[in-house]
Amino acid sequence: MAPVPSTVSASSTPSAAASTGPIGADGKPLKPCCSCPETKKARDQCVFNLGEENCLDMIKAHQQCLRDLGFKI
């Protein structure tokens, strides 16, 4: 029987993703959790108060903000 190739690639590891992600003005890699705080806060408040299904515009706006910074989501 032939060996099964691994489906995990180096680019999917957290350390590899961090080194190839967007870089902030200070030269340090940006983190998705700390980026776009305005859209993140609005999205989180909407989801908490109204439920995810009622906040799709806010969710998409936050995703677009992250994409604009260079995150691949």
> Binding site for Cu cation: which residues?
33-34
Task: Quote the Cα angle for 70-45-65, to 5°.
Answer: 15
Contact 38, 45 (CB under 8 A): no
Would you list which residues are annotated within the binding site? 33-34
- What are 23's strand-pairing partners? 29
